[in-house]
Structure 1
Amino acid sequence: MPQLDPAPWLMISTFAWINLLVFLPPKIATHIYPKEPSMPQAKDYITEPWTW
Structure 2
Amino acid sequence: MPQLNPGPWLFIFIMSWMIYLFILTPKTANLKVLNEPTVHNMNANMTQPWNWPWT
What TM-score do you get using the length of structure 1 for normalisation?
A: 0.49
- Specify which structure has the higher proportion of helix: 1
Instruction: Give the TM-score of the pair, scaled to structure 2.
Output: 0.47
